[in-house]
């Protein structure tokens, strides 16, 4: 599948965003199990190129290759998911992705097609399925189980991500006199939630956790009835099962009791379509993952009445 082929249909996929629907690129890793990744993370799908592998590379890396003048790493997604390596499979493909402000390839056995899924059809995987934290949602496609791979989690297992806030910003946070120091963090990724909790502790903010938009909405409805539990800001991922970040933000803006809440959308997805949708659903900010100082500074400013 070429870049042109993907871009030919991007307009129709974009219209799904903001309506609790998502387009998934389906592929396999060596058996009949279907896996998926959000189309908005995908730049291109290529036949496996000639790759270079250097000594000392992470065991999940199949190598690297030149992609449009830039050397990018290729992660053998089969190895990361517990399957036999695909590096020697002549018919394998590389899914070139761009998210979290980086570009990388994922080696897959083959790709199938693009399908549209509703948020309601995506649900957190049961522990008994054995995917662990590597899969953050499952659904049924024509009766067959489809697992959405948490590629951010896979990437985080290879690359170390800076999660510390600068000392200067920590000092600024100490001096701020905020009316409340509680926020809600909404993210279906265990890795992302851990990073955010660590980050906000450094600027003296307590976090209430929700694992998807539906849980967040239920918690918010209950908490806003109590002054002791009240929060003023929600920071939410966009890609989530049941209710995504766009739909959550729209629901907050359409609920009178929740409308005053500040909302920051925080996602590995980026691009012009996000900027337009942030305005459309009424979010206060969009910040691409993962920029600790920018995220902490933005949240502190939005929570401070003197800066609004």
Same domain, 136 and 22: yes
Kindly state the average pLDDT of the residues 128-138.
Answer: 88
How far is Cα 110 from Cα 242, in angstroms, rounded to an integer?
A: 28
Indicate if the pLDDT at residue 4 is higher than 60.
no
Same domain, 136 and 43: yes
Q: What is the pLDDT of residue 6?
A: 42
pLDDT tens-digit readout, 264-273: 999 887 654 5
Q: Print burial letters for 36-59: b (CB count within 10 Å at least 16), e (below 16).
A: bbbbbbbbbbbebeebeeeeeeee
pLDDT tens-digit readout, 206-223: 999 999 999 999 999 888
Which of 124, 156, 188 finishes a domain? 156
Question: Which CATH number do you get for residue 243?
Answer: 3.40.50.2300
Indicate if the pLDDT at residue 2 is higher than 50.
no
- Number of CB atoms found within 10 A of residue 123's CB: 14
Burial classification of residue 4, based on how many CB atoms lie within 10 Å of its CB (0-12 exposed, 13-18 middle, 19 or more buried): exposed
Residue 182's DSSP bridge partners are 206
Kindly state the average pLDDT of the residues 177-193.
Answer: 87
- Token pair listed for 58: 């992470």
Same domain, 193 and 136: no
How far is Cα 269 from Cα 286, in angstroms, rounded to an integer?
A: 10
- Token pair listed for 20: 């609790």
- Token pair listed for 250: 């729209």
Same domain, 180 and 292: yes
**Closest by alpha carbon to 212, among 129, 123, 131, 286?**
123
Total number of domains in the chain: 2
User: Contact, 94 vs 106, CB < 8 A?
Assistant: yes
Same domain, 257 and 195: yes
Same domain, 12 and 82: yes
Q: What is the pLDDT of residue 305?
A: 80
pLDDT tens-digit readout, 77-96: 999 999 999 989 999 999 99
Q: Structural domain of residue 196, as residue ranges?
A: 167-307
pLDDT tens-digit readout, 109-127: 998 889 988 878 898 888 8
Same domain, 136 and 212: no
How far is Cα 241 from Cα 20, in angstroms, rounded to an integer?
A: 9
The overall average pLDDT reported for the chain is 86
How many Å is the maximal CA-CA distance in the chain?
A: 62
Same domain, 147 and 191: no
- CA dist list (Å): 64 to 50, 92, 96, 124, 155: 9, 15, 12, 32, 15
pLDDT tens-digit readout, 40-67: 888 889 999 999 988 888 999 999 999 9
Same domain, 225 and 301: yes
**Closest by alpha carbon to 165, among 156, 157, 153, 173?**
173
Kindly state the average pLDDT of the residues 195-207.
Answer: 93
Same domain, 183 and 268: yes
pLDDT tens-digit readout, 135-171: 989 999 999 999 999 888 898 888 877 778 999 999 9
Collapsed DSSP state (helix, strand, coil) of residue 4: helix
**Closest by alpha carbon to 74, among 160, 155, 162, 192?**
155
Q: 21 or 190: whose pLDDT is higher? A: 190
Q: What is the pLDDT of residue 225?
A: 73
How far is Cα 149 from Cα 137, in angstroms, rounded to an integer?
A: 8
Same domain, 194 and 136: no
What letter would DSSP give residue 123? B
Q: What is the pLDDT of residue 80?
A: 94
pLDDT tens-digit readout, 249-262: 999 999 999 999 99
């Amino acid at each position: 599948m070429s870049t042109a082929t993907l871009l030919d249909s991007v307009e129709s996929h974009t219209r799904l965003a903001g309506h609790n629907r998502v387009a998934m690129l389906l592929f396999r890793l060596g058996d009949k199990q279907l896996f998926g990744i959000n189309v908005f993370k995908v730049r291109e799908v290529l036949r496996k190129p000639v790759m270079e592998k250097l000594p000392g590379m992470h065991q999940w890396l199949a190598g690297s290759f030149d992609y449009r003048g830039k050397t990018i790493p290729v992660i053998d997604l089969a190895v990361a998911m517990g399957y036999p390596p695909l590096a020697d499979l002549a018919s394998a493909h590389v899914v070139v992705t761009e998210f979290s402000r980086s570009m990388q390839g994922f080696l897959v056995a083959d790709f199938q097609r693009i399908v549209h899924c509703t948020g309601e059809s995506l649900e957190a995987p049961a522990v008994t399925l054995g995917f662990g934290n590597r899969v953050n949602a499952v659904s049924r496609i024509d009766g067959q189980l489809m697992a959405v791979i948490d590629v951010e989690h896979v990437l985080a297992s290879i690359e170390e991500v800076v999660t510390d806030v600068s000392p200067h910003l920590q000092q600024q946070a100490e001096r701020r006199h905020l009316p409340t120091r509680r926020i809600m963090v909404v993210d279906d990724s265990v890795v992302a939630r851990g990073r955010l909790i660590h980050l906000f502790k450094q600027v003296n903010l307590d976090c209430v956790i929700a694992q998807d938009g539906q849980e967040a909405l239920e918690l918010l409805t209950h908490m806003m009835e109590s002054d002791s539990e009240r929060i003023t800001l929600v920071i939410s991922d966009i890609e989530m099962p049941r209710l995504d970040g766009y739909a959550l933000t729209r629901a907050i803006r359409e609920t009178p009791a929740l409308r005053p809440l500040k909302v920051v959308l925080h996602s590995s997805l980026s691009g012009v379509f996000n900027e337009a949708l942030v305005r459309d659903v009424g979010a206060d900010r969009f910040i691409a993952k993962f920029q600790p100082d920018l995220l902490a500074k933005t949240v502190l400013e939005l929570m401070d009445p003197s800066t609004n």
